[in-house]
């Protein structure tokens, strides 16, 4: 049994039954392990093995290694999983505390759907561009792939991300996955939307376009044309492969730095207009009440935010001394200028090291060498972006937006390290 | 019977308000952008690449894709604008709409639209106060939060009912929209619902929305 209580396959039983689909990906290595266990003493060095390695463990130098496989899989000892959340529409969260670097493996990329994942035959896919254009045009997927390709690394974050961490009564036993799992980073490949809008002859007086998906919600958002001329793209590639179905296969709109909902997945239609369309998702949802009896519409840009991914709940520090505090920072307004770390609950701050590459509208990995004295500590990170914006506290946000603010929860997160090494979520006081 | 000042149907206010609102947004969003959208800044173009000077044929185009006919466009062009553009002909009544609602909507939204278990759709706040920022427990109902009734038609037709999305006829959608407006005290029970009703009704939250004023920099908004 794994630590999480899930059954792993025991191929040594050899009962001839095909493993269920969910177990097939780990069956090859499990087969070797199982065979070794059966062979027992032949495969191990014996009691004098040393090195602190358990006597019963397999000596990989005494058995032939595995053959190449058509499609690789993770080590069966590595079991990162998305955490499922939400109700009808469904969402899943990226396990930040189990990842390295900045890229999110495509199968661990967060999901937020408004009516499930559609299955789309790429030969039947069409992108329609019409409205205020000279030439209303239908593009097949092959058509899209013939245009000059662009590729960039970018984060995408749901603007509802972090809601659970922004409550004053937040559960202290929350991992960064549970709290801020609706954030992921990929290399996105596709065609610049500007290229397509040039191709169809976008009218110069078109100021907005509607982006519409072919999911069961026929999700739609109004986007200012300025974003198309800037850095918007129709993406069909993610981390080197075709976009996954849950990320919009075969093609999606991608708007770097903007709230995830605007990057309409499974995009089928773009209609150019001289005004926004006021869809349900941009009025009754994804608008931000603020003090004074108002609400912000079209709050597109994701402001600077940072997240410690180690040490966090459920980590447990085993000894005092060197601890590398690590995490990522990102901003929808450009590049991260610096990240500051506090280990004393925000009384003092010091610069973290930013790991290259530091890219615009992309997560940046930061590191900070901490000498833990074994006493209780309160860790925090705050991001400062190229505009001079400093990631605020929850109090700063609610002072101007009120406690009812519903999206864009980018306040400083905090982690309390107890003297026994356990770590719990604790926002700044 | 669809026009009644008691229910806030003030058509002549619509155009003035909408155009004012849009011009405010346009100013904010175009700030710092390219002067002429016809000559876009192609920030994707790599220095030294030939993309800027390509293509040479097809009138400056690549020539990929195929023309979309009026028929092609009509299949997918389902959006409704806040000025009512896109609303189909025909109509229904609140009475008919309530029958559709009870049959196809009530299981998720409750007998009067206030009970759930899914989105709470009905309910007004006394005086139509808009205290959503102050009070996290308030539900953003159609009557208290939605700025346009056209959105209600658009969304209901494209995405509802949840278990059979896009299955309602235009007449059924008009009816359900009418029922929803009735349950929010925005239409009388004997009202007819058609394109004029949906386009002209002034929703209580209509003037509550403002452009995003966050700009980056040191100020927290």
Instruction: Give the pLDDT of residue A87.
Output: 63
Mutate to test the interface with B, among A264, A289, A393, A410 (most CBs of B within 10 A): A289
Q: What pLDDT does residue B58 have?
A: 59
* pLDDT of amino acid A307: 97
Q: How confident is the model at residue A88 (pLDDT cuts 50, 70, 90)?
A: low
- Return the bridge partners of A130, or none: A271
pLDDT of amino acid A51? 84
What is the rounded CA–CA span in Å between residue A381 and residue A306? 6
Range A274-288 average pLDDT? 97
| Least Cα separation, residue B99 to chain A (angstroms) | 24
Euclidean distance between CA atoms A223 and B10, whole angstroms: 29
At A179 the three-state DSSP class reads helix
* Chain A positions in Cβ-Cβ contact with residue B79 (cut-off 8 Å): 210, 212, 220, 271, 277, 279
- Picking from A247, A270, A121, the residue whose alpha carbon sits closest to that of residue A194 is A270
CA distance A320 to A316: 11
- CB A193: neighbour CB atoms within 10 A? 30
User: Does A300 contact B212 at a Cβ distance shorter than 8 Å?
Assistant: yes
For A387, the closest of B72, B208, B217 (CB atoms) is: B217
Report the alpha-carbon distance of residue A290 to residue B131 in Å, rounded: 9
Q: What is the pLDDT of residue B28?
A: 37
Q: What is the pLDDT of residue B54?
A: 54
Confidence of residue A47 (pLDDT cuts 50, 70, 90): low
Written out in words, the top-level CATH class of the domain with range B1-22+82-210 is: mainly alpha
Looking at residue B39, its pLDDT comes to: 41
* A166 pLDDT higher than 50: yes
pLDDT at A376 > cutoff 50: yes
Which pLDDT tens digit goes with each residue over A215-258? 999 999 999 999 999 999 999 999 999 999 999 999 999 999 99
CA separation for the pair B182, A59 (Å, rounded): 75
Give the pLDDT score at B195: 98
Query: Which pTM does this prediction carry?
Result: 0.86
Does the N-terminal peptide bond of residue A383 adopt cis geometry, omega within 30 degrees of 0? Answer: no
ipTM over 0.90: no
Q: What is the pLDDT of residue A219?
A: 97
Which A residues in the span 215-254 are in contact with B, Cβ-Cβ below 8 Å? 216-218, 220, 224-226, 228-231, 233
Cβ–Cβ below 8 Å for B145 and A284 = yes
Q: What is the pLDDT at residue B208?
A: 98
The domain defined by A88-293 folds into Sulfite Oxidase; Chain A, domain 2 (3.90.420)
Residues in chain A closer than 8 A to B166 (CB atoms): 216, 218
- Report DSSP letters for A61-89, one per residue: GGS--PPP-SS----TT----PEEE-SSS
A275/B30 touch (CB, cutoff 8 Å), yes or no: no
CA distance B4 to chain A (A): 25
Q: What pLDDT sits at residue B51?
A: 47
Say yes or no for a CB contact (<8 Å) between A128 and B76: yes
Lowest mean pLDDT among A78-87, A108-117, A209-218: A78-87
Task: Name residues 374-393 of chain A within 8 A of B (Cβ).
Answer: 385, 387-390, 392
Among A258, A271, A160, A268, residue whose Cα is nearest residue A222: A271
Q: Among A88, A269, A278, whose Cβ lies nearest the Cβ of B147? A: A278
Q: Is A134 on the interface with B (CB under 8 A)?
A: no
CA distance B198 to chain A (A): 14
What pLDDT score was predicted for residue B42? 42
pLDDT at B40: 40
Q: Note the pLDDT tens digit of each residue in A190-205.
A: 999 999 999 999 999 9
All structural domains of chain A with their residue ranges: 1-79, 88-293, 305-425
Q: What is the pLDDT along chain B (221 residues), one digit of tens a residue?
A: 333 333 333 333 434 334 444 444 433 333 333 334 444 444 444 444 444 445 555 567 999 999 999 999 999 999 999 999 999 999 999 999 999 999 999 999 999 999 999 999 999 999 999 999 999 899 999 999 999 999 999 999 999 999 999 999 999 999 999 999 999 999 999 999 999 999 999 999 999 999 999 999 999 99
Task: Tell me the pLDDT tens digit for each residue of A323-366.
Answer: 999 999 999 999 999 999 999 999 999 999 999 999 999 999 99
Please tell me the distance in Å from B3's CA to the nearest CA on chain A. 24
Give the span between the Cα atoms of A387 and B217, in whole angstroms. Answer: 5
- Facing A296 at nearest CB: one of B34, B43, B210: B210
Q: Report whether B165 contacts A115 (CB < 8 A).
A: yes
pLDDT classification of A48: cutoffs 50, 70, 90: low
pLDDT at position A49 is 63
Cβ distance of A204 and B77 shorter than 8 Å: no
Question: How many angstroms separate the CA atoms of B159 and A255, rounded?
Answer: 24
- Average pLDDT of chain A is 89
User: What CATH number does the domain located at A305-425 have?
Assistant: 2.60.40.650
């Amino acid at each position: 049994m794994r630590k999480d209580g899930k059954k792993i396959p025991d191929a040594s039983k050899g009962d001839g039954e095909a493993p269920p689909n969910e177990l097939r990906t780990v069956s090859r290595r499990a087969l070797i392990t199982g065979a070794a266990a059966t062979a027992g003493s032949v495969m191990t060095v014996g009691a004098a093995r040393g090195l602190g390695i358990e006597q019963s463990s397999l000596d990989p130098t005494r058995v032939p290694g595995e053959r190449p496989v058509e499609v690789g899989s993770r080590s069966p000892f590595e079991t990162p999983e998305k955490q499922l959340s939400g109700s009808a529409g469904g969402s899943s969260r990226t396990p930040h505390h189990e990842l390295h670097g900045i890229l999110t493996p495509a199968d661990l990329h967060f999901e937020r759907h408004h009516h499930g994942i559609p299955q789309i035959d790429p030969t039947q896919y069409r992108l329609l561009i019409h409205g205020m254009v000279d030439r209303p045009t239908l593009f097949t997927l092959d058509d899209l792939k013939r245009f000059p390709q662009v590729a960039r690394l970018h984060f995408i974050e749901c603007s509802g991300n972090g809601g659970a961490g922004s409550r004053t009564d937040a559960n202290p036993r929350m991992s960064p996955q549970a709290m801020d799992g609706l954030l992921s980073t990929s290399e996105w490949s596709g065609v610049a939307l500007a290229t397509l809008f040039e191709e169809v002859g976008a009218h110069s007086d078109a100021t907005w376009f509607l982006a519409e998906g072919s999911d069961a919600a026929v999700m739609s958002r109004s986007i200012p044309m300025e974003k198309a001329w800037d850095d918007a793209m129709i993406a069909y590639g993610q981390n080197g492969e075709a976009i996954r179905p849950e990320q919009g296969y075969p093609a999606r709109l991608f708007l770097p730095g903007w709230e995830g909902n605007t990057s309409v997945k499974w995009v089928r239609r773009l209609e150019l207009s001289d005004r926004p369309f006021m869809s349900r998702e941009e009025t009754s949802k994804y608008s931000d009440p603020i003090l004074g009896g108002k609400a912000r519409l079209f709050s597109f840009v994701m402001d600077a935010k940072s997240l410690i991914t180690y040490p966090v709940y459920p980590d447990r520090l085993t000894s005092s001394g060197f601890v590398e505090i690590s995490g990522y920072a990102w901003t929808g307004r450009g590049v991260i200028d610096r990240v500051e770390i506090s280990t004393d609950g925000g009384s003092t701050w010091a610069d973290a090291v930013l790991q290259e590459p530091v890219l615009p509208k992309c997560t940046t990995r930061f590191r900070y060498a901490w000498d833990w004295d074994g006493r209780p500590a309160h860790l925090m990170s705050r991001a400062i972006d190229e505009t001079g914006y400093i990631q605020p506290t929850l109090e700063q946000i609610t002072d101007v937006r009120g406690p009812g603010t519903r999206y864009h929860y980018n306040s400083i997160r905090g982690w309390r390290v107890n003297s026994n090494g356990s770590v719990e979520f604790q926002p700044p006081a | 019977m669809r026009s009644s000042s008691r229910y806030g149907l003030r058509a002549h206010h619509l155009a003035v308000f909408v155009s004012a609102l849009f011009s405010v947004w346009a100013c904010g969003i175009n700030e710092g952008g390219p002067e002429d959208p016809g000559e876009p800044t192609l920030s994707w173009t790599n220095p030294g690449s030939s993309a800027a000077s390509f293509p040479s044929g097809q009138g400056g185009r690549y020539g990929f894709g195929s023309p979309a006919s009026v028929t092609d466009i009509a299949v997918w062009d389902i959006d409704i604008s806040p000025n009512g553009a896109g609303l189909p002909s025909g109509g229904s009544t609140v009475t008919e709409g309530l029958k559709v609602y009870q049959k196809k909507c009530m299981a998720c939204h409750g007998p009067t639209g206030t009970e759930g278990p899914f989105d709470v759709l009905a309910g007004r706040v006394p005086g139509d106060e808009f205290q959503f920022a102050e009070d996290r427990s308030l539900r953003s109902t159609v009557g208290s939060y939605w700025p346009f009734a056209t959105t209600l038609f658009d969304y209901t037709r494209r995405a509802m009912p949840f278990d059979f999305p896009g299955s309602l006829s235009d007449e059924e959608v008009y009816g359900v929209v009418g029922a929803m407006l009735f349950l929010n005290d925005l239409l009388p029970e004997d009202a007819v619902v058609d394109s004029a009703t949906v386009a002209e009704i002034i929703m209580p939250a209509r003037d509550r929305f403002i452009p995003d004023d966050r700009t980056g920099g040191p100020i927290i908004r």
